[in-house]
Each structure stands twice: as C-alpha cells, then as structure tokens.
Amino acid sequence: MILLPVLAVLAGPVVVLAAHPPLPGAPVLVIALPWHDPDGIVALSGGARIGPEMSPMAVLAQPESPDFIARANAAGAIGVFDGQFLANWCRG
C-alpha cells in the first residue's frame, strides 16, 4: 500500500527531467545502474566528464559526439538528462 505513494513522489522529478531533452552540445547528466561505471559510459559514448564531483550512479558530462545520447543508452545509461535544466531547477 505504501509503495504507490512513494513511487509517485519519486516519479515526479524523472517526468520533469524527461520532458526537457538535452540540447545538442550542452552538458548532460548521465545516470547509470549501480553495477555500471558512469565514467566508462561517458568515455564509450564520446564525451568527457565535467566537474570535480561524481556520485556512484551519475556524472555530469560534456558530449563530444553528435550521437552521444544514443551511444550512452547503448552503453548502459538508464537516463541522459539536460544538465543545464537540472542546474537551473536545483537552484530554484
């Protein structure tokens, strides 16, 4: 019973991020499953990690190839989101 409200709360931010696809060449947030390496996904996809901070499942990256998002998804990313939109959203 309690699972449904929890899922609803967690799904909200994902829906907002998914509604704003990354702009070509703009920074992105790459999210990976716990058993994948986000840095490895970025490297395989033709991008570079930006910023000094990294979480175990996500990394900010600068795409350096036009098909970065498709390649990141094929390499194991579960989401590639607009990094600039995320930064503005977190800033409030």
Query: What CATH number corresponds to the domain at position 65?
Result: 3.30.70
Mean pLDDT of 60-66: 92
Bridge-based pairing of strands 28-32 and 77-82 is antiparallel
**pLDDT tens track for 7-39:** 555 555 555 555 556 777 889 999 998 899 999
Bridge-based pairing of strands 47-49 and 58-63 is antiparallel
Picking from 31, 28, 50, 51, the residue whose alpha carbon sits closest to that of residue 41 is 31
For residue 70, the tally of other CB atoms under 10 A from its CB is: 12
Would the pTM count as exceeding 0.85?
no
What's the pLDDT at 14?
56
Supply the range of the domain harboring residue 80. 3-91
Mean pLDDT of 44-54: 85
- Would you list the DSSP string of 3-47? HHHHHHHHHHHHHHHHTSPPPTTS-EEEEE-TTS-HHHHHHHHTE
**Binning pLDDT at 50, 70 and 90, where does residue 63 land?**
very high
